């Protein structure tokens, strides 16, 4: 069975649920807040649709709309369903290494003065606080909308990770101060 990227799975998952056309996919991505948990750019939607079609995971047909230009509607194929289900099993079954640009900065922080490192880490904490507020608000909104538990989890899981990371960064700042006698 053909392996698909996470980006392809994000688009295929939407089409799995129901047929979509490109602009409709963009609106669904925005409405679901998917850019908070997937790497989907507006320009990548049509590129991914072409790839999925070439792999025979989706098929398309032109649909006429009264008073508007025709649009290409994409529907999942049986192979697409099987591939998506396999991808979901894989995504939910294995803990995978996450690459973070933060870790690259950590690898070379010794090139900066300790005071500058602390200032950068304090900035990181401030930016994380803004993201935490956004995620807390998103969880609350989803709960008020009586969204399915798995939709709420798309916001509560990164919230938990971020709070834990903030705690780690705060402890690391103290370690830098202690090690550098600041």
Q: Is residue 90 pLDDT above 80, yes or no?
A: yes
Note whether residue 1 is domain-resident.
no
Asked if 89 and 10 sit in the same domain, the reply is yes
| Angstrom distances, CA of residue 3 to CA of 30, 93, 105 | 26, 16, 32
Q: What's residue 68's pLDDT? A: 83
Q: Is residue 40 pLDDT above 90, yes or no?
A: no
Q: What's residue 2's pLDDT? A: 64
Across 94-99, average pLDDT: 86
Q: Is residue 114 pLDDT above 90, yes or no?
A: yes
Residue ending a domain, choose from 93, 121, 149: 93
Note whether residue 28 is domain-resident.
yes
Domain that holds residue 109: 101-179
Asked if 12 and 57 sit in the same domain, the reply is yes
Q: Is residue 32 pLDDT above 90, yes or no?
A: no
Across 54-81, average pLDDT: 93
Q: What's residue 1's pLDDT? A: 55
Note whether residue 39 is domain-resident.
yes
Which residues contact residue 155 at a Cβ distance below 8 angstroms, ignoring those fewer than 6 apart?
A: 33, 36, 135, 138, 139, 142
Residue ending a domain, choose from 93, 118, 137: 93
Residue ending a domain, choose from 76, 93, 110: 93
Position 43 confidence tier, pLDDT thresholds 50, 70, 90:
confident
Three-state DSSP at 168 gives: helix
HEC string for 116-128 = HHHHHHHHHHHHH
Q: Say which CATH number the domain at 62 has.
A: 1.10.10.10
Asked if 77 and 107 sit in the same domain, the reply is no
Q: Which residue has the tokens 């591939």?
A: 83
Q: What's residue 107's pLDDT? A: 95
Give the separation between CA 117 and CA 70, rounded to whole angstroms.
55
Asked if 80 and 109 sit in the same domain, the reply is no
Mean pLDDT in the chain?
Answer: 93
């Amino acid at each position: 069975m053909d392996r698909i990227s996470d980006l392809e799975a994000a688009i295929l998952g939407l089409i799995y649920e129901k047929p979509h056309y490109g602009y409709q996919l963009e609106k669904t991505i925005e409405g679901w807040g998917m850019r908070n948990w997937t790497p989907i750019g507006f320009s990548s939607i049509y590129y991914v649709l072409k790839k999925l079609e070439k792999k025979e995971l989706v098929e398309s047909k032109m649909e006429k709309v009264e008073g508007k230009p025709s649009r290409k509607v994409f529907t999942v194929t049986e192979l697409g369903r099987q591939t998506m289900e396999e991808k979901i099993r894989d995504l939910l079954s294995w803990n995978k290494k996450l690459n973070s640009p933060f870790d690259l900065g950590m690898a070379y922080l010794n090139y900066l003065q300790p005071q500058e490192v602390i200032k950068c880490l304090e900035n990181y904490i401030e930016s994380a606080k803004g993201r935490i507020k956004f995620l807390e608000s998103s969880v609350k909104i989803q709960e008020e909308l009586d969204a399915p538990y798995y939709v709420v989890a798309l916001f509560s899981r990164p919230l938990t990770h971020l709070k834990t990371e903030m705690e780690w960064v705060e402890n690391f700042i103290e370690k830098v101060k202690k090690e550098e006698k600041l």
